[in-house]
Amino acid sequence: MRDIFTLISERVQLDCGGEPICTHVGDAQVCAIKNHPTYQALRKKVRLGRTKSVASLRLWESVGTLAREGNQQEGEKWLMILLDLLTPYFGGWSKEFARKWHHEVSDIRSAMIEGALEAWFSAAGDMPPKKLLDAMKTRAFTCARGLVEAGSSETCAASSEYLIADAVCEEDSTLRASAIIEASTVQDPDTDERIRGERAGALLQRMGAMSHVKILHAKLRSGCRDESDAPTVTPAQMGRSWVDGKNLYYRFSDLLPQHIGFSKAASIVGLSESQASKMAGKGSLSFRVLWIGNSRVVSVKSLMRILGIQDSIVHPDDVENGASHVGEG
* 171 in a structural domain: no
Distance CA 122, CA 114 (A): 12
pLDDT in tens, the chain (329 residues): 578 999 999 999 888 888 888 888 888 888 888 788 888 888 888 888 777 788 888 888 889 888 888 778 888 999 999 999 999 888 888 888 888 888 888 899 999 999 999 999 988 777 888 889 999 999 999 998 888 777 554 444 444 444 444 434 344 434 343 434 454 454 566 777 888 888 888 888 888 889 999 999 998 888 887 766 777 766 666 656 655 567 888 888 888 888 899 999 998 888 898 988 888 887 788 888 888 888 889 988 888 888 888 888 889 988 999 888 876 54
* 255 in a structural domain: yes
Are 160 and 13 in the same domain? yes
Are 135 and 226 in the same domain? no
Are 154 and 15 in the same domain? yes
Are 47 and 138 in the same domain? yes
- Report pLDDT for 166: 44
For the chain, helix, strand, coil in percent to 5 are 60, 5, 35
* 173 in a structural domain: no
- Report pLDDT for 128: 84
Task: List Cβ neighbours of 85 (8 Å cut-off, separation of 6 or more).
Answer: 43, 46, 48, 59, 60, 63
Distance CA 20, CA 4 (A): 25
Are 208 and 133 in the same domain? no
Distance CA 54, CA 59 (A): 9
Distance CA 224, CA 264 (A): 31
Q: Which of 135, 164, 193 is the last residue of a domain?
A: 164
* 16 in a structural domain: yes
* 179 in a structural domain: no
Strand positions, DSSP E, the chain = 250-251, 259-261, 290-292, 295-299, 313-314
* 283 in a structural domain: yes
- The sign one gets for the Cα dihedral 92, 97, 102, 107 is negative
DSSP string of 202-239?
Answer: HHHHHTT-HHHHHHHHHHHHTT-S-GGGSPPPPGGGHH
- Identity of the amino acid at 222: S
Are 117 and 194 in the same domain? no
Are 139 and 201 in the same domain? no
* 274 in a structural domain: yes
Host domain of residue 306: 184-329
Total count of residues recorded for the chain: 329
Are 17 and 131 in the same domain? yes
Distance of CA 236 to the CA centre of its chain: 29
Task: List Cβ neighbours of 144 (8 Å cut-off, separation of 6 or more).
Answer: 93, 94, 97, 108, 111, 112, 115
Report the domain count for the chain. Answer: 2
Are 250 and 157 in the same domain? no
Distance CA 78, CA 72 (A): 10
Distance CA 77, CA 53 (A): 24
Q: Which of 113, 130, 164 is the last residue of a domain?
A: 164
Are 132 and 197 in the same domain? no
* 221 in a structural domain: yes
Are 195 and 153 in the same domain? no
Q: Which of 132, 164, 196 is the last residue of a domain?
A: 164
Are 80 and 116 in the same domain? yes
